[in-house]
Amino acid sequence: MQTSTINKSVYLTASQADVWDHLTKADLLGKWFHPAKEDLALGQEFTFVSANDGKRMCFGSVEEETPKSYLKWAFSVGPLNGVMTTVEWHLEETAGGTRLGLTHSGLPSDAAGYGLLKALDKGWHGFLGNLHNLDE
C-alpha cells in the first residue's frame, strides 16, 4: 500500500534542550500541541487529550529517542481508526537556536484519505507555528 508523508520544519531561538522538553514533558506539550496525560518516555504509551473537554485526541508510543536530537512516535488520531502512523522529530542546533524538523509518514494516499492528509498537514503547520511562542 502506498502512503503519503508530511514534512515540515521551523527555526526557533530556543535551545535544543528547551525544544526537547516541549516535545516530551506533559506540562509543556499542552502549551503548543495537546495536553498529555504523562511525560513521553522511550517504550511508553502516551495519550493527548482535548484542552476543551479532556477527551482523547491522539495516542501512541515512543519508539526511539536520542535525547535532545531525535524522537520517534508510533501515532494515531481518531479518523485513522487505530491505524498507526510514524511521527519523527529531528532537532538540530543552529547558530541562533534550533531547527526542528517533523516527518509524519504512513498516511493515506488515496482519494478517500486526502481530506485527512490535508487536515493533518494544516494541523501540524499550526502546531509548529505555536512553538515560535517559545521565543517570547
Chain segment 103-123, per-residue pLDDT in tens? 999 998 888 889 999 999 999
pLDDT confidence band for 18 (50 / 70 / 90) = very high
Within the chain, where are the H helices? 16-24, 26-32, 114-130
Q: Would you list the domain boundaries of the chain? A: 3-131
Fold of 3-131: Alpha-D-Glucose-1,6-Bisphosphate; Chain A, domain 4 (3.30.530)
Q: Where are the beta strands (DSSP E) in the chain?
A: 3-12, 45-49, 56-66, 70-77, 85-94, 97-108
> Which residue matches cell numbers 521551523?
10
Chain segment 52-101, per-residue pLDDT in tens? 888 888 999 999 999 999 999 999 998 888 899 999 999 999 999 999 99
Single pTM value for the model? 0.93
Averaged over 29-33, what is the pLDDT? 94
How many CB atoms within 10 Å of residue 15? Answer: 15
**If you compute the radius of gyration of the chain from its CA atoms, what whole number of angstroms results?**
14
Chain segment 66-76, per-residue pLDDT in tens? 999 999 999 99
